[in-house]
Structure formats: C-alpha cells, structure tokens
Structure 1
Amino acid sequence: MSSTSKPATVSSTSQWPVTAYHPRHQTWPYKPSDFTRSDPSSDSSFYDAPRFVTHIDDHAIASLRAYYAAVLPQKGRILDFCSSWISHYPPAIEDAMKKGELQVVGMGMNKAELDANPILSSRLLHDLNEMSEIPSAVVGSEAASEALDASTCVVSIDYLTSPREVLTSLLQRTNKGGTVHLAISNRCFPTKVVSRWLRVSEDERLQMVSDYLWFAGWRDIEIVNLGGKDEEDEQPDGGALQRFMRSMGMGVHDPIWVVRGTKE
C-alpha cells in the first residue's frame, strides 16, 4: 500500500481545535483480523439486558451536547445509530423534534433503552454486526427530502466489525451535504471492541476512524477535539499532572473527540 498522507492542519476557526484529515493510503489498509473480537458471541445476547448508565462522564457529555448544538440541523432528519436511552442532544434539538420540524430516528440494540429515550421520534432495533446495511426504515420514503441530513454515533464505532460497509450504506441514505459525527473516547467494553482498537494509540484510533469514512466515500473529513489529550498537553504545568492522574484512574475528565465527514 502506498501512502498519500500529508501534514495535518489545525483550524482554530471554531471553539474547538479542528484537524483536517488527509488520506494516508491508496487502498483499504486493514485486515479481517483487525476486526476480530475476544468475545465473538452474538451482540444481541450481550446487549439483551438494558444498561441505564452513561459511558462518558458529565464533562464529556456537556462538551458533546455543546458541539451538537453548534453543528446539528434543526430541520429534516437525524439518525442516532448505536443509540441507547440518551442521545446527548441539546434542548434546541428536542424542541425542534417536539414541533415536528425535525425527525430523530434512534437505531440500537436494546428495546427498553430506546423506549426510554425521549428525544427519539421513532425507534429501530438493528444489529449492525449481523447486517451492516443501514435499513431503509431510517428514512421516511424514497423521496430525497426524507433522506438523512445528519447522523451521530457515540463511543460505539469501535464495536463495528464492518465499519466501512456500515458507513458506505449510511452515505447512501444521506442527502447531499449531509454529515456524520462519530464521537470517540477512551472507554470501551474490551471483550467486544475490535482487536486493533486495543493495540493502537488514541491518535491512531482517530486516524483509523477517519480512514473508515474516507474509504466509505465521505469527504471533508475532520477530527474535532472536544477536550482530549492535546488539550492537556497544552497546559505547561497541569498537563503532566493530569496524565498521571488519568493513569492512576483518578478524577480527570474523559477525553472526547468527534470524527466527522460530509456527503459531497
């Protein structure tokens, strides 16, 4: 494989640092073994019992909610895939949904969790590791106006065993100019995450997810730092202490990034 990577560029035009992704490979660089898991059993069984917990801390949730407030449309249709009992959307999105100006489709693995999510206009049970195609039911009809205007996924892209196929299907269900926002942290169920995720650094995970989007056909791919490792490193006195506290499992905020792309 030949690399086509270029130096990363960082934009300070928003309230968060934004790094432009540049394609690193001319062909798909990953092997089937990269997507094996230590627990290959059915995800339907693993997610059978509801988990009414949050998988990132309150600070990360607040950062993600502020990001969503800045980037998500308030008209049209949004898909929250790998969804659960909470989507971390801001009040403006909820208000638009209640007014009927916005449809929010939740697709996940546990019915009780989806039923408890008040932001959702409709709900769909679907295992993306059993069938990597995004079901046609996420759109209201074949009309372009009913296709997706944005999609979100919170700390779950690392569980998908066929991420390129999922994101290719998502692109097909998305309107031109529509966007996808994949939130990433450093928490996971280690037995269910794909094997390569556990072998590489946080920076490489972000590049890997960017690769997923690129080879699925998404463009204008960017990595947005909502409060992660880079932010700590910029603190001349506090960065080292924060990294030490994180290594000891002490009170440090969860890092949170978003890898995003646009349909041309």
Structure 2
Amino acid sequence: MQSLIRPLLRPIPLISISTGGVLLATSLYGSRAAHTITSPSPPAMTSSTPKSYSVKPYTPRHETWPYKPSDFTRQDESSDTHFYDTPRLVTHIDDLAIESLREYYATVLPTKGRILDFCSSWISHYPDAVADAAEKGEVKVTAMGMNDAELRANKVANGGRVCADLNATPDIPSALSKAGVPTEEGFDASTCVVSVDYLTSPLEVLKSLLSITKPGGTVHLVISNRCFPTKAIGRWLRVSEQERLAMVGDYLHFAGWRGIEIVEVSDGTIEGGRAAPGGLGGLMAYLGMPGGARDPLWVVRGRKEG
C-alpha cells in the first residue's frame, strides 16, 4: 500500500520518500509529534468487541543476522535526548487507528499481571478493561519513554514511569532497575507503538526485553507509515511497507522470540464511506470528495517459549 501525503501540524520538516511511498511524520519514540494535536487528557476509551484479523505467520528468511551497521544510521545522529527534551502531548496516528489499536489490545493484553509499554509517552492507547484493571491495581503497567513530563501524564502507568534512551543504552532491564522497577517477576506482555523504526540497536533491545518476559509472555510491536525521516533508521526509509514488517519479524527472530506473526489491524481504508477525523480522509470529506483514508496499522508480535 502506498503512503499518501497528509497535512501535518508541526514546524519540523517531516516528509521523506522511499520505495514504499511517502513516509509521514509521527515522532521520535512513540506518540511524540503530530498528526493530531490533542488536549492533555487522553481521548475516551472505547469498548471493544472481539474481531478477526488477518494474521500471517513469520517465516525466517536468513540463517544469520542479515543487517549491516549502515542500515541503522540516520540522517540526524544528534542526541535523541536533546531532540526530545520538550513534551509533546499529541497523538501520532489518527483517531480511527487509535480505536482499532484499542480493539486489538483488548484481544491480547492481560488484565492481571504486569505490562511494559516501552518507547511510551503520555498515553498508551490501552482499552477500558486494562485501564480499569490498572486503576484497581489488578494489573501493573510500567511506561518507559523519553520525556518525564509526558510519562507523568500517562494515567494508566501505575507500575512505574521510567525515562530512558534505548539508543544510548539498549538495555531495558538495566533502565528499569535504575528507576527502582523490579524485573525479577517478569512481564506478561509488552507493547511499543510506532517506534521500532527509531531503534538503532533493535536486536539488543529485544533480547533484553525477552530476558524479563515471563515464559509464554508476548510482545506487540505496532507499526504504521509515519515517522520523522531524519530520526528513522536508514533502511526503514529505503524499503517497502511489507519489507519493514518482515524486517521487524527478523528482529524478533534473531532476538530469540518465537511464534512470530504479522497482524493487519487496519489496511488504511475507511469502512462504509466514513471519513477519518483527521488527515487526508478528513480533508477529502471537507472538500466533498468521496472515499477517504486512515492510517494503516500492523502489529508484529512474538512469544517467549516456555
């Protein structure tokens, strides 16, 4: 699917062209920059009903790690911490994609135990059932991100808020321990929203995550077609959307995760002619044009054996 140019509301140059189409802006490490500017309160969570998804099993493509260090270089190699020193209380995918993500999370995330949202921000997009369980203390949610003010605004993060630059130190257990978050019990599930394309050492990050995941625990890496091209890794900008998904599958495979699958949560089209609240779909509706578009959404997920 080709990405489309949509109006953006940030003063930073955010558009780059790759063989997969035009990449659009989100942010560094998650919900950091702007497709939709929001208030500091997260949108109301919607109730979700079980639905079926297009799920394709990942098949290992390589016998050894196939990527070169140059694949993980970026146009802007300046400090990520400096890049993200100002809070951005914004969302990075449109409202319909957020709704779809919550529906997906409702089918896979536990309401008891522990969840880690890494590369997180002021909102984790978790469904009502998880938010309610966190409020009751039945599930502990730890949010790890790049900006302390954003993390403090994350209402579901009842299990700790951890500032960490995973490109500087790609070791999740170390960052959690330094912040006083216990890792011995392990996590039942982890999530990461539109941020894996910014990780310069994804293999090390995902290996470290596996080490603190309970046997049978899962990881859910959420991917769309938006990014800051200056901070995304070089190979991400050069390949198609389907190759990006396969590449993330490679990350998980070589990090030791198993049962890897690629889930299509949204194909980027509008059902029933309903235009997306923001982006190109909203613009087309405003101009009286038929159809519309929404942000596409995939999840590459894996499981720890045991």
Fold equivalence (TM over 0.5): yes
Equivalent of 1:130, from 155, 168, 178? 168
Give the gaps of 5 or more residues in structure 1: 1-12, 239-244
> What residue number does 1:210 align with?
249
Change (3 A) 1:47 1:157: same
Structure with more of its chain in helix, by fraction: 1
Q: Give the Cα–Cα distance (whole angstroms) in 1 for the partners of residues 86 and 225 of structure 2.
A: 23
Q: Is the 8 A contact 1:50 1:112 kept in 2?
A: yes
Q: Give the Cα–Cα distance (whole angstroms) in 2 for the partners of residues 103 and 46 of structure 1.
A: 30
> What residue number does 2:192 align with?
153
Q: Is the 8 A contact 1:60 1:227 kept in 2?
A: yes
Equivalent of 2:104, from 67, 73, 78? 67
> What residue number does 2:79 align with?
42
Q: Give the Cα–Cα distance (whole angstroms) in 2 for the partners of residues 20 and 77 of structure 1.
A: 26
Q: Are residue 16 (structure 1) and residue 57 (structure 2) matched?
A: no
Change (3 A) 1:66 1:142: closer
Q: Is the 8 A contact 2:194 2:224 kept in 1?
A: yes
Structure 1 stretch 77-86 or stretch 14-23: which is displaced more?
A: 14-23
Deviations 1:141-189 (A, max 9, x none): 454xx21110000000000000010000000010000000000000001
Note the C-alpha offset of 1:135.
2.7
Deviations 1:30-83 (A, max 9, x none): 000000000000000011011111100001100000000110011111000000
> What residue number does 1:165 align with?
204
TM-score, normalised relative to structure 2:
0.74
Change (3 A) 1:114 1:182: same
Equivalent of 1:186, from 213, 225, 249? 225
Equivalent of 1:94, from 131, 135, 148? 131
Q: Give the Cα–Cα distance (whole angstroms) in 1 for the partners of residues 162 and 173 of structure 2.
A: 9
Q: Is the 8 A contact 1:140 1:147 kept in 2?
A: no
Amino acid aligned to 1:65? R
> What residue number does 2:237 align with?
198
Note the C-alpha offset of 1:140.
4.9
Note the C-alpha offset of 1:252.
1.0
> What residue number does 2:94 align with?
57
Q: Tell me the secondary structure at the aligned position of residue 169 of structure 1.
A: helix
Give the gaps of 5 or more residues in structure 2: 1-49, 274-278, 285-291
Q: Are residue 256 (structure 1) and residue 301 (structure 2) matched?
A: no
Q: Give the Cα–Cα distance (whole angstroms) in 2 for the partners of residues 103 and 47 of structure 1.
A: 26
Q: Tell me the secondary structure at the aligned position of residue 122 of structure 2.
A: coil
Q: Give the Cα–Cα distance (whole angstroms) in 2 for the partners of residues 56 and 118 of structure 1.
A: 19
Q: Give the Cα–Cα distance (whole angstroms) in 2 for the partners of residues 14 and 263 of structure 1.
A: 24
Q: Give the Cα–Cα distance (whole angstroms) in 2 for the partners of residues 176 and 161 of structure 1.
A: 27
Change (3 A) 1:142 1:164: closer
Q: Name the Cα RMSD after superposition.
A: 2.2
Q: Is the 8 A contact 2:173 2:209 kept in 1?
A: no
Q: Give the Cα–Cα distance (whole angstroms) in 2 for the partners of residues 148 and 207 of structure 1.
A: 25
Q: Is the 8 A contact 2:116 2:142 kept in 1?
A: yes
Note the C-alpha offset of 1:101.
1.0
Q: Give the Cα–Cα distance (whole angstroms) in 2 for the partners of residues 39 and 82 of structure 1.
A: 19
Q: Is the 8 A contact 1:108 1:125 kept in 2?
A: yes
Identity fraction in percent: 65
Q: Give the Cα–Cα distance (whole angstroms) in 2 for the partners of residues 74 and 47 of structure 1.
A: 31
Q: Tell me the secondary structure at the aligned position of residue 266 of structure 2.
A: coil
Deviations 1:112-146 (A, max 9, x none): 11011101011000000000011343685454xx2
Query: Displaced runs of 4+ in structure 1, greater than 4 A?
Result: none
Q: Are residue 106 (structure 1) and residue 143 (structure 2) matched?
A: yes
> What residue number does 2:260 align with?
221
